[in-house]
Structure 1
């Protein structure tokens, strides 16, 4: 359930929603961090649900000392009205037994809010690619039929590759076996895409093949591909391809080695 930060709930009609899937390397969440920080987006509210592991923390986007003590929760919505852009940032893992219910909650909220389109950022294990997925850049996309009605030409011009379907049983030749969509390490990505197809929602998935580790370069790669499509920086005062790193990234890998050890 969405709970607004203001007395009156905001209108998301004709907004583009960008959200991450909690997936390998947290690439999508880092990409969303860059969007919120770069465009100095304001918090519009949060999603209250028991489907996420409970957590709370300080403001990850604070630019002044007095802002650091603001309390932030696992799923929050940010907006940039001048760009008609809304961001849903998810900071906590989804409870596995409640994954389907969380997808249903998201789909219901997206439909009720009237977003013009939804873009899910995600990632998938690089080591589980098959031969055809090793070709080209490590970016893949998926798009529902509803989104293709308005964005098919734009996606074609970008030259991106659609996420390949892979054999159900790799290595075995069976003419009757239909290739299937497989996104290992992608969390709810596949389920959310399938649900959106069934509900005729205009939704696209942008995902990057990656490995666990320092995934900051992957986040920049993914958000740059997103900008190639949506032209967010081009329509903003920020310099082209100039993303602002949030203050919380200084703690991505913890503090330094304690001098007392030596």
Structure 2
């Protein structure tokens, strides 16, 4: 699944893996873009799988004409051993019929590389929130029992809010119970990857933002800053001014209105 850029396969043991879930507003992917661009992370390889819709394009983090023509693909891996992080960027949707297989491949790769923890950046539809979820910050987290043992009270000390479980809607009983359930509408593989990680004892946390489709750059900035409250990858308090916007974001909303139409 993983193909290294160089002849030797990099060692990821005991590093932190950060990855997005393809979800509403692409917030997780935008946040990962900010990490890669700001920290100037080098590409060390890519994931080759038929579970993602094939795509290719120019270098999204180009700094000059010399590197602008580099070919980039649907799922690429970047690493900074000095920061103890590995970043997986996913740029294409998961094929619907292969979602389970993709999760299995991901977890297999995560376990075989010995990552100390995996952090998934994601999002969920804001309009699906219930009353309790509309209070306070739009940012939430989920953590597997195995990671909770490692982190202890870190999330409480940060003042983060855990994703609330919501009551099952009438007529939509889940496994014959009326107990509140985890509900992440618009989150792609977020919930299923989290549940799989709980079952397989994988140290994993999900950081997500409630959002709507549109200009989701502010959501991405809020989410990546939220992550940095924990990891301290940037040491400047005014972080919003320090996140480096990738060159590819110039075309985030297209190339503008052609003057000729006027």
> Is this a same-fold pair by TM over 0.5?
yes
Q: What is the CA deviation profile of residues 33-57 of structure 1, one whole-angstrom value per residue up to 9, with x for unaligned ones?
A: 0000001000010000000111000
Query: 1:205-216 maps to which residues of 2 (within 5 A)?
Result: 205-216=206-217
- Shift in CA distance, 75/227, structure 1 to aligned 2, threshold 3 Å: same
Query: 1:1-262 maps to which residues of 2 (within 5 A)?
Result: 1-169=1-169, 177-234=178-235, 240-241=238-239, 242-262=242-262
Q: What is the CA deviation profile of residues 26-77 of structure 1, one whole-angstrom value per residue up to 9, with x for unaligned ones?
A: 0000000000000100001000000011100000001011101110000000
Q: Find the aligned partners of 2:170 and 2:135 in 1 and give their Cα distance.
A: 18
Q: Find the aligned partners of 2:106 and 2:34 in 1 and give their Cα distance.
A: 22
Cα deviation, residue 12, structure 1: 0.3
- Provide the TM-score with structure 1 as the length reference: 0.95
Q: Find the aligned partners of 1:216 and 1:251 in 2 and give their Cα distance.
A: 13
Cα deviation, residue 152, structure 1: 2.5
- Shift in CA distance, 246/182, structure 1 to aligned 2, threshold 3 Å: same
- Provide the TM-score with structure 2 as the length reference: 0.95
Cα deviation, residue 19, structure 1: 0.2
Q: What is the CA deviation profile of residues 139-191 of structure 1, one whole-angstrom value per residue up to 9, with x for unaligned ones?
A: 1100001100111211110111111111112599xx95111111000000001
Count of paired positions: 258
Aligned residue for 2:79, secondary structure, equals strand
RMSD of aligned Cα (Å): 1.6
Structure 2: stretches of 5+ with no match in the other structure: none
Aligned residue for 1:162, secondary structure, equals coil
Aligned residue for 2:27, secondary structure, equals helix
Q: Find the aligned partners of 1:219 and 1:176 in 2 and give their Cα distance.
A: 36
Q: Find the aligned partners of 1:179 and 1:171 in 2 and give their Cα distance.
A: 14
- Shift in CA distance, 39/148, structure 1 to aligned 2, threshold 3 Å: same
Aligned residue for 1:118, secondary structure, equals strand
Q: What is the CA deviation profile of residues 182-206 of structure 1, one whole-angstrom value per residue up to 9, with x for unaligned ones?
A: 1000000001001100110100000
Structure 1: stretches of 5+ with no match in the other structure: none
Moved over 3 A (4+): none
